[in-house]
Structure 1
Amino acid sequence: MKKNHTEEDVYILAIESSCDETAAAVVKNGREILSNVISSQIALHTLYGGVVPEIASRKHIEKINQVVEAALLEAGMYLEDMDAIGVTYGPGLVGALLVGVAEAKAIAYAAGKPLVGVHHIEGHVSANFIEHPDLEPPFLCLIVSGGHTHLVIVKDYGEFEILGRTRDDAAGEAFDKVARAVGLGYPGGPKIDLAAKEGNPHAIKFPRAKVEGNIYDFSFSGLKSAVLNHINHANMMGEEIGVADLAASFQSAVVDVLVSHTVDAAKEYGFKKIAIAGGVASNSALRKGMGLACEKAGIAFYYPSPIYCTDNAAMIGTAAYYEYINGARAGWDLNAVPNLKLGER
């Protein structure tokens, strides 16, 4: 047992397997990360230009026990020291989720520990709590990843109100598709970000979509189509495609919409704190653009380190801690829910 363990401390063993990272972590009192072990499959899926669900599931099965053991070892703790087992149960790839859920249920049952199911998006939001002790609800959070684009009011720990969401492609999905179209490969977000550093964001005028109805909803399919049309036209005319300029111009269009929606919502609802989360939250242009806009508006801006932006179990442990202390417990019938909506149980 860890020497500084006290009765007041709460330790969570957390598991994440919703997509292509097999991860486990030990989290103390919600915000202290004792270990954060990630086995990434990016190199494997790069061969196919994107995540292959069947391969992801098989790799999770191969790695899940190893990452759990490594997380406990790195934390210097034993299973009996844990107060609860937290696990992502949705949304995500159903086969991938099932591996983590089955592992967590087996561990919790064998060790006689409570089981806590965690919504993946709640985990991303909670990543901000890890490094920002002053960040407490309520605040506004933009979650941007390969599968999700949500603008939410974080009313309390585990309590959310959705202001806007994507109506078609998620922001990260658009990054992946554009990167593939210009030959940058997978994963698209980091590749576009890197290429854009050498380009002119004003070189190509791409649209900034405004949607009818809810002004805080997002749409990136029109932008994606405009980029693909630009590429196809250049190819037909035998013109060279300036990848850096295209990447910078596309990225600028995405960031402009994300920033304007978020800051406008903060002003309307009177929020003085904005956080970003998800894989795209590590994008340098988004961090810079949101930071400048928040500074101008007198709004505090929070974002996680890159390691906590992409899928990881530390953020799941943080979310599980707040669920646990609020009395949330999952039954042995906990199942993977691939299309789980934020706020659903």
Structure 2
Amino acid sequence: MYIGFDTSNYTTSVATYDGTKVTQAKKLLTVKPGERGLRQSDAVFQHTVNMPMLCTQLELSVPKAVGVSNRPRNVDGSYMPCFLVGENAAAVLSSVNSVPLYKTSHQVGHILAALYSVNRLDLINQRFIAFHLSGGTTEALIVEPDDEEIIKASVVASSTDLKAGQAIDRTGVMLGLSFPCGRELDLLSQKSNRCFKVKPAMLGINCSLSGVENKVKNMIDKNEPAEDVARFALTYVAQSVNAMLRGVIEKYGNLPVVFSGGVASNTLLRKTINDNFDAYFADSEFSLDNAAGIAIYAYLKDNE
């Protein structure tokens, strides 16, 4: 058995992997009504409280190796204090049991979890396109095999300003939804019969999402139905990501495409992409923040 820890900005997560099956336990961090995020000190405190409970739920035994995400991405300067909680728990478990500890990024965990979910872990041995769509990241990546990190993800396109998750959460908060707002906004948008024609704001193959917030404010000021506001915001995000993918394929070729990150669980986004491209989307439990990919990373590193 291999154990993975992930303490991202909004979810505490622990998972195990036996080489075939993932088992995980996770808890969403609490954000006060009306607020659009958490201070790092609050996130660290909640992770510290959640961690023992989640480990008890999984009834952890002595692992063969331990994995942990200790940074958002595998680039210089990528750092968030909240990842220290998972890193400390992993270090103690590794030390007490004298088993290897493997560290990677939250982003690599997302990609591996998505590959596991769609039964395509074999893609770690070839070049493919991955999208990481979340509150802090809206990136198109070229992913290649790597001797040190299992996979190396290089950013080839991104949002130049607001991230997809930020656009969704800010819309949701303005509509009075609970943060993070992705799931509620998705359900609300499905009540709308409006069809919005959106022209994405593109800078080459990069997208700009800053216009969403102002347009949403205008719709709310005009007392347009909440479900229509939700539908517009998600249409804008979906069409922007669709345009990014088209540009990436034109530039880098028709490679396999995998979507990861919480925003990738959105219904409208999935339909928009699948209507135009062949792409893999992870199940929701493996799209949202999770430690599954981290446990899988530990397994892969230990069996190189």
Q: Under TM normalisation by the shorter chain, which class is it? A: 0.7 to 0.9
RMSD over aligned CA atoms reads 2.1
Cα 1:147/1:15, change in 2 over 3 Å: same
Match among 197, 209, 222 for residue 201 of structure 2: 209
What amino acid maps onto 1:70 in structure 2?
Answer: Q
Specify which of 227, 233, 236 is matched with residue 216 of structure 2: 227
C-alpha distance after superposition, 1:91-126 (max 9, x if no partner): 288342111111111111111111111200111111
How far apart, in 2, do the equivalents of 1:18 and 1:93 lie?
A: 11
What does residue 164 of structure 1 align with?
A: 157
Q: Any residues of structure 2 matched to 1:138-217 within 5 Å, and which?
A: 138-156=127-145, 157-203=150-196, 207-211=199-203, 215-217=204-206
State the Cα distance separating 1:311 from its structure 2 match: 1.0
8 Å Cα contact 2:66-2:101 kept in structure 1: yes
How far is the alpha carbon of 1:48 from its aligned partner?
5.0
SS in 1 for 2:144: strand
Q: Structure 1: 5+ residue runs without aligned partners?
A: 1-10, 235-239, 327-345
What's the offset of the Cα at 1:278?
A: 0.2
C-alpha contact 1:13 1:25 (8 A) present in aligned 2: yes
Q: How many residues align?
A: 291
Give deviations 1:139-194, integer Å, cap 9, x for gaps: 11111011111101111242122111222111001100111122233222112211
Equivalent position amino acid for 1:311 in 2: D
Q: Take 2:300 and 2:214, find their aligned partners in 1: how far apart are those partners? A: 41
Structure 2 counterpart SS, 1:210: strand
The equivalent residue for 2:82 is 96
**Aligned AA for 1:26?**
T
In 2, Cα distance between equivalents of 1:263 and 1:52: 34
Within the candidate set 265, 289, 293, 2:276 is matched to 293
Match of 1:59 in 2: 46
Kindly indicate whether the alpha-carbon contact (under 8 Å) linking 1:152 and 1:160 is maintained by their aligned counterparts in 2: yes
Residue 116 of structure 2: SS of its match in structure 1?
Answer: helix
Residue segments in structure 2 that go unaligned for 5+ positions in a row: 73-77
State the alpha-carbon separation in 2 of the partners of residues 307 and 222 from structure 1. 30
Structure 1 residues 225 and 48: CA distance shift in structure 2, 3 A? closer
For the residues of structure 1 that align with 2:220 and 2:232, how far apart are their CA atoms?
13
Q: Does 1:130 align with 2:123?
A: no
Q: Secondary structure at the match of 2:102?
A: strand
When normalised by structure 2's length, the TM-score is: 0.88
* 1:20 match: 10
The question of 1:261 aligning with 2:249 is answered: no
Structure 1 distance, partners of 2:193, 2:273, is 19
For residues 20 and 102 of structure 1, what CA distance do their matches in structure 2 show? 18
Aligned with residue 244 of structure 1, among 197, 213, 227? 227
**C-alpha distance in 2, partners of 1:284/1:64?**
31
Q: Which residue in 2 is equivalent to 1:37?
A: 25
CA contact (8 A) 2:36 2:173 kept: no
Equivalent residue for 2:289, pick from 295, 301, 311: 311
Change (3 A) 1:323 1:167: farther
Q: Deviations over 1:294-329 (max 9, x none)?
A: 1xxxx3x21111111111111221233334445xxx
Residue aligned with 2:254, SS: coil
Greater C-alpha radius of gyration: 1
Query: What letter corresponds to residue 109 of structure 2 in structure 1?
Result: G
Per-residue CA deviations over 1:60-103 (Å, capped at 9, x if unaligned) read 111212322332x2xxx621xx2211111012883421111111
**Aligned equivalents of 1:324 and 1:168: distance in 2?**
38
Distance across 2 between alignment mates of 1:158 and 1:262:
20
Query: 1:335 maps to what in 2?
Result: none
Separation of aligned partners in 2, 1:61 and 1:48: 24
| Post-superposition offset of 1:286 | 0.9
**Cα–Cα, structure 1 residues 208 and 47, in superposed 2: closer, same or farther, change >3 Å?**
same
The answer (yes or no) to whether the contact 2:198–2:239 under 8 Å persists in 1 is no
Cross-structure match for 1:340: none
Please say if residues 139 and 272 of structure 1, whose CA atoms lie closer than 8 Å, have aligned partners that are also in contact.
yes
* Identity score, percent: 23
Secondary structure of 2:258's match?
A: strand
| Gap change, CA 1:149 and 1:172, over 3 Å in 2 | same
C-alpha contact 1:89 1:101 (8 A) present in aligned 2: yes
Corresponding residue to 1:270 among 250, 253, 261:
253
